[in-house]
Amino acid sequence: MPTLQDVAREAGVSKMTVSNVLNGHRDRVSPATIARVMEVVGRLGYVRNATARSLSARRSNLVALAFPGRDTGGIEPLMNPHDSLFLGEVEAHVTEAGLYLMAHSVNSVESTANSLRSWNVDGAIFLGTRADEVAALHRAYEAPMVFIDNHGTSPQISNVGIEDRLGGRLAGRRLVEAGHRRIGFVGPAFDEPGVVRERHAGFAQALAEAGLELRPEHVVRCNASFDAAVDAARQVLAAPQRPTAVFATADIIAAGLLKGFVRAGCPVPDQMSIIGFDDLEVARHVTPEITTLHQDIPGKARAAVEVLLAQLAQWPTVRSERRVLGVTLIERGSVGPPPAIPIN
Amino acid sequence: MPTLQDVAREAGVSKMTVSNVLNGHRDRVSPATIARVMEVVGRLGYVRNATARSLSARRSNLVALAFPGRDTGGIEPLMNPHDSLFLGEVEAHVTEAGLYLMAHSVNSVESTANSLRSWNVDGAIFLGTRADEVAALHRAYEAPMVFIDNHGTSPQISNVGIEDRLGGRLAGRRLVEAGHRRIGFVGPAFDEPGVVRERHAGFAQALAEAGLELRPEHVVRCNASFDAAVDAARQVLAAPQRPTAVFATADIIAAGLLKGFVRAGCPVPDQMSIIGFDDLEVARHVTPEITTLHQDIPGKARAAVEVLLAQLAQWPTVRSERRVLGVTLIERGSVGPPPAIPIN
DNA sequence: CGATTAAGGTTTACCGGTATACTCGGGCAC
DNA sequence: GTGCCCGAGTATACCGGTAAACCTTAATCG
């Protein structure tokens, strides 16, 4: 592998001149020299050594994308379409900006911070971080960081997310407008701040605005997994004065519920309406297709990288930014009017 | 950030001694010194600088996972569940081995090789690489490489894949045994060597073994996309002497076909049987659930990392390894007997 | 017309580690 | 007693870059 030195020798200049040419410090080198150096670079197939650059320049051009690891979530990392799509988009934009992407699962704040430090990572994007970890991570390593979909974290911490609360509200309103009076909620726990809490809050608000109450027995807890949702469907159906419609906090849950309901002899949308969230592919795979709240995941990825790049440019002036992307209701086939004769 | 030097000073030893302790060269340091150094390391919160290590030791501890980029495939990178699940698994195993993972889309052999070189990457795993690129990449950068799901590449190139041909054969046989005589094939182009070609070959073989022929008009070309498959269903139904069953080379295609068939008033499995491949989640989302060939993606990821680590350990002795994982037929609900009265 | 400045480079000193060679004070065989 | 080896460290020379200061030469300016 040729080094800077080799190029310099071959071009009859000093290392620094080659370095300047390669770094685009054109004002320090004459056009003729630039041309000569570039010719040699091309001829020798010289490639800059990123690790040496990183060491010397105190800038690594590395960006980390961190996602929940096995130890934290329990589910396989990245298995969900949201995170993987997001990762792919981030990679594209990061590469476009001439940076490199390190993929890193977060199993503990400690180990993650050490990795970032070790590689002298320039910045990081965090997916699915718990509220308490956000602050700890932000404290543990001094570099631009952008968190995704966190709610209720310090305004000094950059965040990119969506209108979760509004989404929940639109979902609730849609079901109310379809004529439903007994409406259930299916989703993971929301005792901590987060997207689920927001979606739930918006949803409950919509019901309240319509003079309806969200009864505790109509709130079914269910992780974002298809199988769990299939099971949860039974619970929904078993509730006293069972709901005629449910809002699921994720499409994968909605899809599982759909299967569960149909399997239990409760057709959708005739006997039961479902509204999902995210607008992932699964929403269109099933029949009927699921009415859901669309969120722009590629847009979120783009925004995240934009915010990160902006912070990188200003660093170390920490000007945090919070971006919130809109959501839109996508009408499909899983919402109908309540059944004429309510069951049980 | 404390450096080696800081630790050395604080512990009253030389840099080298600290380095030796940290690298586990216990035979060169007395136990007492080891203890003292470790204490200081802990107290100062010292973290080794990976870039400096990489530069000096000529070993980066970096592994790249490369996947097709936008420019090559057209589809969003990593959007498919297979690749993202694979990536997540690889990350876990790589981390476990004390290495770091760089995620990299491949848009050109050139640029990819330059990235690998630039970071002095120790090894790489390649997903979805075209046959011609495999050789070029292997040539362009000297380091252990493992390719995933490539067929017909040089035996000197390590590869981890599955029994695609057998899978195709099992699929064909299953449909034959169900009594079908007119069986179609739906999948992407297979003029180049690759998984699709293998699956097709196995499938065609199964039909031949049953004395059946795979008629050209029963072969429908369709990319691995749900929407494309919904469309493809029409083509299948429009074929003269239309098939009573189809083999789709991917579950996502099978799911799309299912929707297309049902939408066209051709119920599955009553009027049409479908068999898929991969056993992704989507196969269980839809109704009826899709009978498919299961492949062990986490296992493939584990194998890939194992092979890579083995090569890393032997390097630069290039002993290539090819691993082929089994496939199993998963019976679900999308295959039935042919309709009593064949249509058209 | 001497002093300043600008253009175009070069020199030097690191960045934070690691490999290699070398030192040094015993213990041991002969 | 002496040559030799061994355990436990240290000194030195890089790895491949970059920042910052410095050095020429020629043009600019008061």
Question: Which pLDDT tens digit goes with each residue over B211-261?
Answer: 999 999 999 999 999 999 999 999 999 999 999 999 999 999 999 999 999
Instruction: List Cα–Cα distances, B163 to A55, B113, B194, B214, B281, in angstroms.
Output: 45, 29, 12, 21, 20
Q: Are A251 and A277 in contact (CB under 8 A)?
A: yes
Q: Which of A294-308, B78-92, B97-111, B152-166 has the lowest mean pLDDT?
A: B78-92
* Per-residue pLDDT, B344: 60
Q: What angle, 0 to 180 degrees and rounded to 10, lies between the N-to-C axes of helices A15-22 and A4-11?
A: 110
Which of A62, A84, A305 has the highest number of chain B CBs within 10 A, making it the mutation to test binding with B? Answer: A84
Residues in chain A: 344
Which residues between 120 and 139 in chain B have a beta carbon less than 8 angstroms from any beta carbon of chain A? Answer: 120
Chain A hits for B118, CB-CB cut-off 8 Å, are 47-50
% of chain A at pLDDT higher than 70: 98
Q: Which residue of B has its CA nearest to A83?
A: B84
Chain A hits for B51, CB-CB cut-off 8 Å, are 51, 54-55, 60, 119-120
pLDDT at A123 over 70: yes
Would the Cβ of B7 be found within 7 angstroms of any atom in strand D?
no
The whole-angstrom distance between B91's CA and the closest CA on chain A is: 7
A102 CB within 8 Å of a chain B CB:
yes
pLDDT at A340 over 80: yes
Report how far residue B291's alpha carbon sits from residue B175's, in angstroms, rounded to the nearest whole number.
11
pLDDT at B79 over 70: yes
Contact A91 B114 (CB under 8 A): no
In this complex, the nucleotide whose C1' atom is nearest to the CA atom of residue A46 is D16
Number of cross-chain residue pairs from A and B with Cβ atoms under 8 Å apart: 153
Q: How confident is the model at residue A343 (pLDDT cuts 50, 70, 90)?
A: low
- Residue B3 corresponds to which tokens in the numbers above? 């450096």
B258 CB burial (10 A radius; 0-12, 13-18, 19+): buried
Q: Which residue of B has its CA nearest to A51?
A: B51
Nearest Cα to Cα of residue B144 among B264, B263, B15, B312 = B312
The whole-angstrom distance between A57's CA and the closest CA on chain B is: 11
Would the Cβ of A50 be found within 7 angstroms of any atom in strand D?
no
B41 CB within 8 Å of a chain A CB:
no
Mean pLDDT of A166-181: 98
Mean pLDDT of B145-161: 96
* Per-residue pLDDT, B75: 61
Question: Which pLDDT tens digit goes with each residue over B178-214?
Answer: 999 999 999 999 999 999 999 999 999 999 999 999 9
Would the Cβ of A15 be found within 7 angstroms of any atom in strand C?
yes
Nearest-by-Cβ selection for A118 from B50, B55, B101: B50
Mean pLDDT of B64-83: 80
Contact A101 B101 (CB under 8 A): no
- Residue A196 corresponds to which tokens in the numbers above? 């689920």
Chain A hits for B100, CB-CB cut-off 8 Å, are 102, 104, 115, 119
Which of the given ranges, B61-70, B127-136, B323-332, has the highest pLDDT on average?
A: B323-332
pLDDT at A342 over 70: no
Q: Return all residues near B319 (Cβ < 8 A) that are at least 6 apart.
A: B311
Contact B118 A84 (CB under 8 A): no
Nearest Cα to Cα of residue B284 among A230, A319, A165, A35 = A230
pLDDT at A139 over 70: yes
Question: Which pLDDT tens digit goes with each residue over B294-344?
Answer: 999 999 999 999 999 999 998 888 789 999 999 999 999 999 999 987 666
B82 CB within 8 Å of a chain A CB:
no
Q: Are B37 and B17 in contact (CB under 8 A)?
A: yes
* Per-residue pLDDT, B121: 97
pLDDT at A173 over 90: yes
Element of type H or E holding A322: strand A322-325
Mean pLDDT of chain B: 94
* Per-residue pLDDT, A62: 97
pLDDT at A47 over 70: yes
Mean pLDDT of chain A: 94
The whole-angstrom distance between B266's CA and the closest CA on chain A is: 14
Write down the pTM of the prediction.
0.94
Residue A283, SS3 per DSSP: helix
Would the Cβ of B15 be found within 7 angstroms of any atom in strand D?
yes
Report how far residue B109's alpha carbon sits from residue B101's, in angstroms, rounded to the nearest whole number.
19
Q: Which residue of A has its CA nearest to B53?
A: A51
Q: How confident is the model at residue B73 (pLDDT cuts 50, 70, 90)?
A: low
DSSP readout, B1-66? ---HHHHHHHHTS-HHHHHHHHTT-GGGS-HHHHHHHHHHHHHHT----HHHHHHHHT---EEEEE
Report how far residue A49's alpha carbon sits from residue A18's, in angstroms, rounded to the nearest whole number.
13
B54 CB within 8 Å of a chain A CB:
yes
- The more confidently predicted of residues B112 and A70 is B112
Phi and psi dihedrals of B147, rounded to 5? -100, 150
Chain B hits for A67, CB-CB cut-off 8 Å, are 88
pLDDT at A148 over 80: yes
Beta bridge partners of B18: none
Beta bridge partners of B65: B103, B125
Question: Which pLDDT tens digit goes with each residue over A152-161?
Answer: 999 999 999 9
pLDDT at A70 over 90: no
DSSP readout, B253-321? HHHHHHHHHHHTT--TTTT-EEEEEE--THHHHSSSPPEEEEE-HHHHHHHHHHHHHHHHHHTTS----
Q: Return all residues near A199 (Cβ < 8 A) that are at least 6 apart.
A: A164, A165, A167, A168, A171, A187, A247, A249, A277
Q: What angle, 0 to 180 degrees and rounded to 10, lies between the N-to-C axes of helices B50-57 and A50-57?
A: 130
* Per-residue pLDDT, A158: 97
- Residue A170 corresponds to which tokens in the numbers above? 């639109």
Distance C5 C1' – A17 CA (angstroms): 22
Would the Cβ of B48 be found within 7 angstroms of any atom in strand C?
yes
Contact A60 B51 (CB under 8 A): yes
pLDDT at A263 over 70: yes
Nearest-by-Cβ selection for B117 from A1, A55, A67: A1
Would the Cβ of A14 be found within 7 angstroms of any atom in strand D?
no
Report how far residue A228's alpha carbon sits from residue A257's, in angstroms, rounded to the nearest whole number.
9
DSSP readout, B131-151? HHHHHHHHHHS-S-EEEES--
Report how far residue A258's alpha carbon sits from residue B66's, in angstroms, rounded to the nearest whole number.
37
Nearest Cα to Cα of residue B18 among B27, B31, B30, B5 = B5
Nearest-by-Cβ selection for A119 from B51, B81, B115: B51
The identity of residue A168, as a single letter, is: G
Would the Cβ of B16 be found within 7 angstroms of any atom in strand D?
yes
* Per-residue pLDDT, B270: 96
- Phi and psi based region of residue B306 (left: phi greater than 0; alpha: psi -120 to 50; beta: remaining): alpha
pLDDT at A301 over 90: yes
Report how far residue A196's alpha carbon sits from residue A250's, in angstroms, rounded to the nearest whole number.
9
Buried b (16+ CB within 10 A) or exposed e, A65-79: bbbbbbebbeebbbb
Chain B hits for A91, CB-CB cut-off 8 Å, are 77-78, 103-105
Contact A95 B85 (CB under 8 A): no
- Residue B271 corresponds to which tokens in the numbers above? 């009027």
Mean pLDDT of A220-240: 96
Mean pLDDT of A269-289: 97
The whole-angstrom distance between B259's CA and the closest CA on chain A is: 8
Half-sphere exposure of residue B220, counting CA atoms within 13 Å on the CB side?
A: 28
A1 CB within 8 Å of a chain B CB:
yes
pLDDT at B74 over 60: no
